[in-house]
Structures are given as structure tokens and as C-alpha cells.
Amino acid sequence: MRFPTILLALAGTLILAGCDSPSLISLDPAATDQDAVFDATLLGTWEAGQGGDLCIFRRGAGNAYTVTYVSDDSSRKFDARLFQAGQARLLDLSPQDSDDFQIPGHTLIRILASSGSLRWTYLDSAWLRQQAAQELPNRARDNDKMLLTAAAAPLRGFLAKYAADDRAHGDVAEWQRLQ
């Protein structure tokens, strides 16, 4: 399968999940089981606005989470690991379902501290993609999508260096706790 087809499949997977389509995806996880930390305050049901989409965090195996995203009448499940990279708390999110025609990618999300709400943003800005293009193995497509092909250790080093910079992400979404 050619690279553009794989990248489109990865982006399509996240679009079908009802999420914005992140423009920076990693082929390998950034967080290993040993890197993952558990934060019980993430557990529960979070809502985007009144009557909006839902995001349900449950405890997975070890320090992992199972995240269910519900939008309209559809839902999608993800595996997630929370980890620290430098000054940034990050979530490595990957879809649970896959088939022989999809390669599950890892989306990197920055979790921002807030009392009573879940504030998050994709790490996928044009500035961050430019840094990644110079420092990590990658496959770029149309200057707005990039698949990182770096192994976990170099990827974590890159994230420790850049993830806390406000230029590394776009708009911050804020979700309110329901349960």
C-alpha cells in the first residue's frame, strides 16, 4: 500500500470518529507501559457544551485508559496512555478498532490543567510539523499532514523539547464533567 493511501486511511479513521482530523500522527506510540501514569481525575464522562459530544474515560489495563467518544448516534473507542514529556502532560491516543486495510496511528494530545473541566488540544500545529520535519523521520503529505515514523524514545525526546510550547498546538477545547 502506498504512503498517501495509508495517511488518508489514518486521517479518515479520526474524521469518522467525529473528532477534528489531527495533522500530525505517529506510527509508533510515544508512551510505553513504563512511561504511562494514571490520573484518576480524568475518569468519568465529559461533555463538549450543553447537549454536545461526550468523551468517557475508563480505566484500562495497568495505567492505560479506554476512551469512548460519542457524537450524535455514533461512538468510537480508543486506547490512551497519559505521560509526561518535559513540562507537558500528554495523552497518546490510538483507535481500538482496525482491520487489514488500516494502520492504527497515534494522535498526541496535550492535557492542560484546569479545575472542574478537561482542557485539551492536538499537538499538530504547522510550527510543530516544521520542527518534526527537521528532527524526526517522517512522511509529509501536501504540507499539512505528517506521519511520524520515529521510534518511541526519539519521539519522547522531541516531545519533551517542544510539547509545552504554545506554538505546538492549536485551539484548546474545554469539556465539562457530567459524572
Tally of structural domains, the chain: 1
Phi-psi region of 116 (alpha: psi -120 to 50; beta: other; left: phi over 0): left
The answer to whether residue 107 sits within a structural domain is yes
Q: Is the residue at 150 inside a domain?
A: yes
CA–CA gap between residue 79 and residue 73 (Å, rounded): 21
What's the pLDDT at 15?
A: 34
Q: Is residue 103 part of a domain?
A: yes
50 in any annotated domain:
no
pTM of the predicted model as reported, rounded to 2 decimal places: 0.84
- 130 domain-assigned: yes
Degrees to nearest 5, angle at CA 88 with 12 and 109: 10
Helix H or strand E segment including 93: strand 88-95
Q: Which of 15-29, 40-54, 140-154 has the lowest mean pLDDT?
A: 15-29
Residue-level pLDDT at 179: 63
Average pLDDT of the segment spanning 119-138: 95
Look at residue 62 and tell me if it is in a domain. Answer: no
Look at residue 114 and tell me if it is in a domain.
Answer: yes
Domain that holds residue 11: 3-37+81-170
- Over the stretch 84-111, which tens digit does the pLDDT of each residue have? 999 999 999 999 987 778 788 999 999 9
Query: Considering the domain boundaries, does residue 94 fall inside one?
Result: yes
